[in-house]
Structures are given as C-alpha cells and as structure tokens.
Amino acid sequence: MVGSRRARRPAALLAAVALVALGAACGTVDPPVNPPNYVALGDSYTAGPLILPQSLDPLGCLRSGRNYPHLVAPATGMELRDVSCSGATTDDMTEPQGVTPGPNAPQFDALDASTAIVTLGIGGNDIGFSGIIEDCVAVLPFGSPCTDLYTGGGHDVLAARIAATAPKVAAVLDGIRDRAPNARVFVVGYPAILPEDGHGCWPVLPLAWDDIDYLRGVEKALNAMLAATAAAHGAEYVDTYTPSIGHDACRAPGTRWVEPIVPLTDAAPVHPNAAGEQGMADVVEARMQQAGVL
C-alpha cells in the first residue's frame, strides 16, 4: 500500500502543476474590448422633437433621427448611443423618465468604459423652460408681465433656479466621469431663441416687448452657468448661442434655427427645427475637431 501511494504522487503533482500553469495562462488573456462609442445625453434641444423621422424607442422621448447627435456621429466613426429625451432634467440621468409610452431608461445606462465621446445638453428643464414659456405668453405686447412675475419683490426667481441647477449639472459631469472615465465630454449650450437686440416679434413669438431683454438675459445666464460648470469639471463647452445669433425664432422660415410658438416646419414650438439641429451639429463637430477628438 505504501508503494502504491508513492506511485500516484508524481501523477497528482503533474496534474496540479498543469492546472496552475493553465490558470496562469488564462490570467494573461485580456478581456474582450468593446469598440469606442459616442453617447448623447440630453433634453429636447438635443432630441429634436417632431423633426422627422422620430424614434420609437420610446416614442415619448420625441427623438429625431436628424438631431445633432445623429448628424455628428458619422464624423466620429463610432457607434452612436443617443438616449436624449424630451423633457429630461438632471435627475433623469440616473432615474427612469416617465414618458408615454415608456419609461426611458436612466440615460447613464448608455455609458461604459468604452465610451469615448459624450455630449450633454441639459439644464433648461431644471429651471422650468416649459413653465416659463407658458407664464410669459402675453395677450398684448405692452408692459413687462413676465419680468414682473419673476423678479417681483427684488428677488429674481429664474436667477435663483439657475444657481440651484449648477451643482446638479456638476453632479452629472462627475457621474459621467465615474462611468466613462476615458470619455471626452462636451457640454452643449442652448441656441438663441430671441433676437440679440430689439423688442422681439409679438405675436409670432407672443412675448411682451419689455420682457425680451430679461428673457434674453436668462438664456445667456443659463449658458454662462453651463460653461463655467463644464470648465470646473474637466469638460469642454460648446457655444451654440453665438453662431445662432441671427437665426432666432423671430427670423423668416429658412433662416431661423428655432421655431416660434406656431411652427411652420417639423419641430416643436420654441424648439430647434432641422436647420437648427444641423447648425448645432456643425458647431459641435467643429468644437470636437478643435479639441482633437476628430
């Protein structure tokens, strides 16, 4: 019996060595690497509501196949993961968004270690974009009812909302970095809705003449916050406002990038039309080239 156990030991030892060697060899095999991808996060100014064709995934996001992410994606040579959704706020980056039918999954679900480029267009709904438009529609163009509403008592409600949104955007940028550490991140600002000077174009855009300066300032302040937050969190800011001056909602069809309250082409009210999404795409692509990612 003693001799029998000795005879078996070399075979057992060889088997153990073989298993160790196999395990070591397997440990040197790198896991499969996914190709780089481009993830588009954002709200309706990214999604392109009512610009045909519209995605069915989900339909409630009103996401266009001709929005700026789809127009920029070919230049990147990467798979596009466009999860932008109309009505999105910063909360919808990490939580499901209730759209009909839906929901839209948390937008951050599209991010991973293989994400190489991220564009982010967010913040307008955090300050209440739709509600501002509804509150500021004026039956007559006289006075400044919107300014009076939002700055009564010496407190600027919309300035406070913009300030309160800054840390939310900062948290979104930090969350992107955690989930996509290799990505270059581009924060895309909002294009000009109102003319750069003058009193607007009531009733095409039914805002009182004396409210235009205030509302123009609100959009500029929102964009300035986005630019500062991007810089503080290692992201690139894309200024779509300056190139869109002269293409505001008061311009003629064919010139404007943003439709007025009654759109005359495929677009949602007071949102970019196809020309606007193309204009934004051109600016985003140029900024990416400047940053050396294209």
Strand extents, DSSP E, the chain: 37-42, 79-82, 115-121, 184-188, 236-238
Query: What torsion, rounded to 10 degrees, do the Cα atoms 98, 99, 101, 107 define?
Result: -80
Q: Which of 4, 44, 155, 247 is catalytic?
A: 44
Query: What are the residues whose beta carbons fall under 8 Å from the beta carbon of 229, sequence distance 6 or more?
Result: 166, 169, 170, 173, 187
CB hemisphere CA count around 43 (13 angstroms): 25
Residue 118's nearest CA partner among 71, 88, 167, 83 is 83
Instruction: Decide: 212 and 144 in contact? Cβ < 8 Å.
Output: no
Is 44 labeled as catalytic in the residue annotation? yes
Of the candidates 84, 144, 244, 271, the residue annotated as catalytic is 271
Tell me the residue type at 87: G
Half-sphere exposure (Cβ direction) of 229: Cα atoms closer than 13 Å: 27
Q: Is the distance from CB of 107 to CB of 85 less than 8 angstroms?
A: yes
CA distances from 53 to 89, 107, 121, 279 (A): 24, 21, 20, 18
Active site residues: 44, 271
